[in-house]
Amino acid sequence: MSDLTALTLKSALDGLEKKQFSSLELTNAFLANIEAANPRLNAYVVVTAEKARAMAKASDKRRKKNPGPLEGAPLGIKDLFCTEGVRTTACSNILGEFTPTYESSVTANLWRDGAVMLGKLNMDEFAMGSSNETSRFGPVINPWRRGNEDTNLTPGGSSGGSATATAADLCLGATATDTGGSIRQPAAFTGTVGVKPTYGRCSRWGIVAFASSLDQAGPIAKTVEDAAILLRSMAGHDPKDSTSLPVETPDFQQACGRSIRGLTIGVPEEYRMDGMPKEIEDLWAQGIEWAKAAGAKIKAISLKHTKYALPCYYIVAPAEASSNLARYDGMRYGARVQGKDLADSYEKTRAAGFGAEVQRRILIGTYVLSAGYYDAYYLRAQKVRARIAEDFRAAFEEVDAILTPATPSAAFALGEKSGDPVSMYLNDIFTVTANLAGLPGLALPAALDKKGLPLGLQVIGKALDEETVFAVAAALEKAADFKARPTNWWS
Amino acid sequence: MSIDEKTVRKAARLARLALPEARVAPMVGELNAILAWIEQLNEVDVEGVAPMTSAVEGASLPMRDDKVTDGNDPARVLANAPKTEDGFFVVPKVVE
């Protein structure tokens, strides 16, 4: 039974149902993997072994009566989700040893459906980063390497722990969050599937806030179908989040089996960036061929404000972050540094608690919201955001889904981009538009580059039409037949 | 628009973020590099465009019933406080 951890979520759920193994056996197999791998991969920042075993035992008992859709499935949870009684820090020093006395709605939904928590996953501090290097616990390492080189590569960010844990069989799947690409970019870098659903599909309640008009939770999983199963449990209306949409959650898993014959898939010209590596261009062309072969029609579309999406994001997101992060004052929770008076305590607490990238974004956000600059920056960015959303609205009158590359490159080495914020930000060039427009986007592995690293494609859909996204992604997944796995050097 | 040390100090003060003197000049450089890149937004024609303030089209904020649904649980509220006394948060002196 040593290969239990290599199962997909779907096959693990089937095996549990057929009583081929218990949730406790499965959970113990993952805990053993984590113990062996974590010193090198640094994916987990808290391992909840005892809690996991207790949840697994309870699940094994429940199986006899009324098993849930995720009954007995061990999952990893990004450290941005508040988990009752389990330290949650958003991988920031400012949260100290914060231990929530409540559970986020998304994770509560998973436990309601029978899932087991293995622990909390590493991430960029407050989800601000594309390489996991801003975490207070140090970077996560990508299980994938360039050929025989032993250079440590980034798993991407901010959900790097979720991506590495899923790719290295340290969980069946993981929760993640995506504000500008933080689910899809790490999924692309690790050969996993990541979904950012429509804004409002998943409740944000109990998730540490970064940029509230952009943040969405979603899964990272081994297959498109696994992601569909996880998203169905995570999603759902929640009265505790006023932006959570009061809509039914469709059966995403069923949508994975839909034919895409007759669908029209848009290919945006503006995503053909100057200097785009040929491998990415080839991958995209291949994806287009796969969609055609599955019976879809391809249509060139124009999303003409694409190049403004990232600069727009880097006003909107820091502005919202500077406001959201104002709550960290060291008074009610988190680490406090005592100063000579109240203001001094605030300033010292925040200077000591926030890392360099977070401080940079707070300062940008504060500046673009400050008197005299608000109109020139923030208001203009909101107008450009409206233009970007309008581009998509027009495109979706002609097409059912949009196909693009997921990232402009394969995973890069740690330290390679950390000295230049703008070059780091450019990682999200293909993903950030979906956040600004509130649309669902999915990244799936499609090929390996020359050095043997995974590359991903992205499918973007209409608001609340994740079903078409899953159908297209499942068809591409089938055509790509991506079976490559990283060689285990880490345990 | 580029910013100077005075502006960075002001933003840091507004954000309640102690910025050591040695960090001020490097921060000016870092922020200006980002702002210079953001400048390209000025190329976009936004004449007559309404600012997008919500990711959900036509969404209105729902009102819930004005009922108490949670609370009366000081132990949970205080559980993570750096300093407490007799069921209260202890904070630095605010009024002299």
Interface test mutation site (partner B, options A87, A89, A208, A367, max chain B beta carbons within 10 A): A367
pTM of the model: 0.97
pLDDT tens figures, A176-213: 999 999 999 999 999 999 999 999 999 999 999 999 99
Cα angle, residue A460 at apex, residues A458 and A465 outer, rounded to 5°: 135
Contacts of A447 (CB under 8 A, 6+ apart): A283, A286, A454, A455, A480, A482
Q: CA nearest A117: which of A77, A82, A86, A148? A: A77
Q: CA nearest A136: which of A181, A90, A175? A: A90
- Asked if residue A274 has pLDDT above 90, the reply is no
Task: Please report the pLDDT score of residue A420 as a whole number.
Answer: 86
Q: How far is B25 from chain A (nearest CA, A)?
A: 13
- Asked if residue B1 has pLDDT above 70, the reply is no
- Asked if residue A2 has pLDDT above 60, the reply is no
Contact yes or no for B35 and A305 at CB 8 A: no
- Asked if residue B59 has pLDDT above 80, the reply is no
Contact yes or no for B56 and A245 at CB 8 A: yes
Task: Please report the pLDDT score of residue A354 as a whole number.
Answer: 98
pLDDT tens figures, A208-232: 999 999 999 999 999 999 999 999 9
- Asked if residue B58 has pLDDT above 90, the reply is no
Q: How far is B91 from chain A (nearest CA, A)?
A: 6
Query: In this structure, are residues A175 and A217 in contact, taking their beta carbons and an 8 Å threshold?
Result: yes
C-alpha B6/C-alpha A349 separation (Å) is 22
Residue window 452-481, chain A: list those with CB within 8 Å of chain B: 463
| ipTM of this complex prediction, to 2 decimal places | 0.95
C-alpha A390/C-alpha B45 separation (Å) is 13
Contact yes or no for B15 and A332 at CB 8 A: no
Bridge partners (DSSP) listed for residue A442 = A195, A459
User: Which domains are present in chain A?
Assistant: 1-491 (3.90.1300.10)
Q: Is A158 a catalytic residue?
A: yes
- Asked if residue B60 has pLDDT above 80, the reply is no
- Asked if residue B14 has pLDDT above 50, the reply is yes
pLDDT tens figures, A17-66: 999 999 999 999 999 999 999 999 999 999 999 999 999 999 999 999 98
- Report yes or no: A345 at the B interface, CB cutoff 8 Å: yes
Interface test mutation site (partner A, options B31, B44, B64, max chain A beta carbons within 10 A): B44
Contacts of B8 (CB under 8 A, 6+ apart): A363, B19, B24, B27, B28, B31
A101, A346, A367 ranked by CB distance to B7: nearest: A367
Residues of chain A positioned with their CB less than 8 A from the CB of B14: 366, 370
When pLDDT is averaged across residues B68-80 and rounded to a whole number, the result is 93
Task: Please report the pLDDT score of residue A1 as a whole number.
Answer: 42
Indicate the pLDDT class of residue B63, thresholds 50, 70 and 90: confident
Q: How far is A8 from chain B (nearest CA, A)?
A: 33
Residues of chain B positioned with their CB less than 8 A from the CB of A434: none
C-alpha A132/C-alpha A141 separation (Å) is 9
Beta strands in A323-440 (DSSP E): 401-405
| Top-confidence residue, B76 or B95 | B76
C-alpha A11/C-alpha A9 separation (Å) is 6
Task: Please report the pLDDT score of residue B2 as a whole number.
Answer: 84
C-alpha A218/C-alpha A209 separation (Å) is 15
Q: Is A450 a catalytic residue?
A: no
Nearest-Cα residue of chain A relative to residue B45: A384
Share of chain A above pLDDT 70, in %: 100
Contact yes or no for B76 and A101 at CB 8 A: yes
Task: Please report the pLDDT score of residue A418 as a whole number.
Answer: 84
Q: CA nearest A74: which of A25, A135, A142? A: A25
The encoded tokens of residue A417 equal 């981009």
pLDDT tens figures, A236-271: 999 999 999 999 999 999 999 999 999 999 999 999
B8, B89, B92 ranked by CB distance to A332: nearest: B89
- Asked if residue B47 has pLDDT above 80, the reply is yes
Query: In this structure, are residues A17 and A67 in contact, taking their beta carbons and an 8 Å threshold?
Result: yes
Q: Is A483 a catalytic residue?
A: no
- DSSP helix/strand/coil, A300: strand
Q: How far is B63 from chain A (nearest CA, A)?
A: 9
Q: How far is B31 from chain A (nearest CA, A)?
A: 7
Choice among A10, A59, A78, A222 that is catalytic: A78
C-alpha A407/C-alpha A430 separation (Å) is 6
**How many pairs of residues across A and B have Cβ atoms under 8 Å apart?**
166
pLDDT tens figures, A99-124: 999 999 999 999 999 999 999 999 99
